Amino acid sequence: MKKITPKVFQILAKTHRLTIFLSAPVTATITDLKSQALPALERYSTVQEENEDVDIDLPPVKQDDILPKVTEISDFEFCKAKRDRAGKIIEFDVLDAKAVIRETLSNWESIYFRFRNEAGKLQDVEIEEPVDSDQEEVPDPKGKRKEHPT
């Protein structure tokens, strides 16, 4: 049976601890996705600045969690992760801004932000991947049992 490709892709754009859900027709380009993500990044940056002035107890924001200020789509690029056989990310490839989504991505795929610094150089991807509960080390319950005297 032939797999039917949807007409609209759902794409997850990730950076730091933030995930932005994007939706675009398969004929759209990576530049179209960047244009869609820009207002969300701008709004998130505004919320970060507003929270600095609020006098309530919020969890402390680590310097690593603060997003760079973006004002236009040339301030960042989207990247696709390359993974090893174990599923760990080994590197990020920058996506061509003119590439069509259907030829570059799959539905529900995650892509990653690479921001430009003041000099225009691309910075490394900053992402905090959640820990997979299946991969967490589970203690051996046999080691916790008390031996009963006989």
Residue 107: which CATH number?
3.10.20.90
Q: Mean of the per-residue pLDDT values for the chain? A: 83
pLDDT at residue number 39: 95
pLDDT at residue number 43: 86
Give the C-alpha separation, 123 to 134, whole Å: 32
pLDDT at residue number 103: 95
Which uninterrupted H or E stretch holds 67?
none
38: confidence class by pLDDT, cuts 50, 70, 90: very high
In a domain, 138, yes or no: no
Give the C-alpha separation, 21 to 11, whole Å: 6
pLDDT at residue number 67: 84
Cβ within 8 Å of residue 116, ≥6 positions away: 68, 74, 75, 76, 77, 122, 123
Give the C-alpha separation, 103 to 9, whole Å: 12
Range of the domain at 122: 8-54+61-129
pLDDT at residue number 45: 75
In a domain, 144, yes or no: no
In a domain, 3, yes or no: no
Question: Residue 65 pLDDT more than 80?
Answer: no
Tell me how many domains the chain contains.
Answer: 1
In a domain, 150, yes or no: no
Question: Residue 136 pLDDT more than 60?
Answer: no
Q: What is the pLDDT of residues 27-37, one digit of tens each?
A: 999 999 999 99
Q: Is the dihedral of CA 47, 53, 58, 59 positive or negative?
A: positive
Closest CA to 82 of 57, 117, 45, 111: 111
Instruction: Write down the pTM of the prediction.
Output: 0.75
CA distances from 20 to 49, 120, 121, 138, 144 (A): 19, 23, 23, 32, 43
pLDDT at residue number 142: 56
In a domain, 44, yes or no: yes
In a domain, 79, yes or no: yes
In a domain, 143, yes or no: no
In a domain, 35, yes or no: yes
What's the average model confidence in pLDDT over 49-56?
57
- Which of 43-57, 80-94, 118-132 has the weakest average pLDDT? 43-57
Tokens of 143: 């080691």
Instruction: Identify the residue with better confidence: 97 or 56.
Output: 97
